[in-house]
């Protein structure tokens, strides 16, 4: 139990339900505890790095994450082996799957849909969004201001996206600032992900959700927008 300084008010964390409980004059008020998820992780299953998926999961646990999403390049099926890790580590961390889709205009994170079944390789992003929406999933432009693979200012007008990736662990800070500014102008939520291509990079950026997540609730929570992006690399810096 952790006592705060306010009189007749204290806060405890219930380890069984993962929620913060505020007690005031004998009345318990339940508040969701932060649920930290790295929404953008790659492994050797992407074909462009040598990261072992299990080492990435273990690193996520060490970093204090409650969730980690593998978003391998091009193919949702590429991350199928991750299902074994989901079961193996189910009591320690939530292991999720998505895909980093290469649309004609740039990269997008897609959750809740097997994009391989859509047969839309390198399709225009608006075509992708319509197809994913029909299937009940979400599309989030990733690192939009990274040269060569980002959509750039197109995110200012793109309709149907759930959020914009603002904190990307492989981006220059100036690229992230531009993405966050674009999201604010459009009043869209901002996600965070490490874009890890090595276990040691996992958790450098992440998304804090307000409430416990499951694989089934991920899409709904992304649509609801009750989350913030965090760049862990800047935590504790002064000046």
Question: Each residue of 90-135: pLDDT tens digit?
Answer: 999 999 999 999 999 999 999 999 999 999 999 999 999 999 999 9
Cα-Cα-Cα-Cα torsion 38, 53, 44, 108, nearest 10 degrees, comes to -20
The answer, yes or no, to whether residue 14 has pLDDT greater than 50, is: no
CA distance 110 to 74: 11
**Alpha carbon of residue 35 to chain centroid:** 11
User: How do 34-41 and 67-70 pair as beta strands?
Assistant: parallel
Rg (CA), the chain: 18
- From residue 162, alpha-carbon distances to 65, 76, 197, 225 in Å are 22, 19, 24, 8
CA distance 107 to 203: 20
Q: What is the mean pLDDT of residues 200-220?
A: 97
CA distance 152 to 33: 34
So what's the pLDDT on residue 234?
A: 83
Q: What is the pTM of this model?
A: 0.86
So what's the pLDDT on residue 69?
A: 98
Contact 215, 112 (CB under 8 A): no
So what's the pLDDT on residue 31?
A: 61
Spell out the domains of the chain, with CATH numbers in brackets. Answer: 1-32 (no CATH), 33-234 (3.20.20.140)
So what's the pLDDT on residue 28?
A: 53
CA distance 45 to 239: 40
Structure token digits, residue 180: 């966050």
The answer, yes or no, to whether residue 239 has pLDDT greater than 50, is: no
The answer, yes or no, to whether residue 18 has pLDDT greater than 90, is: no
């Amino acid at each position: 139990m952790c006592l705060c300084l306010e009189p007749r008010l204290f806060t405890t964390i219930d380890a069984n339900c993962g929620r913060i409980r505020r007690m005031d004059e004998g009345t318990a008020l339940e508040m969701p505890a932060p649920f930290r998820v790295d929404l953008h992780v790659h492994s050797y299953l992407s074909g462009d790095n040598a990261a072992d998926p299990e080492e990435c999961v273990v690193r996520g646990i060490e970093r204090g994450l409650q969730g980690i999403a593998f978003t391998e390049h091009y193919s949702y099926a590429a991350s199928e082996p991750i299902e074994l890790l989901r079961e193996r580590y189910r009591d320690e961390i939530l292991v999720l799957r998505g895909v980093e889709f290469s649309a004609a205009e740039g990269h997008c994170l897609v959750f809740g849909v097997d994009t391989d079944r859509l047969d839309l390789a390198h399709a225009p992003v608006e075509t992708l969004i319509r197809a994913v929406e029909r299937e009940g999933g979400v599309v989030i432009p990733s690192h939009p201001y990274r040269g060569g693979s980002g959509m750039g200012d197109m995110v200012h007008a793109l309709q149907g996206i759930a959020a914009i990736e603002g904190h990307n662990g492989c981006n220059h800070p100036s690229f992230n600032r531009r993405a966050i500014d674009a999201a604010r102008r459009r009043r869209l939520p901002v996600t965070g992900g490490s874009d890890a291509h090595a276990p040691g990079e996992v958790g450098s950026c992440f998304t804090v959700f307000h409430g416990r997540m499951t694989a089934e609730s991920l899409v709904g929570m992304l649509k609801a927008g009750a989350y913030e992006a965090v760049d862990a690399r800047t935590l504790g810096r002064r000046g």
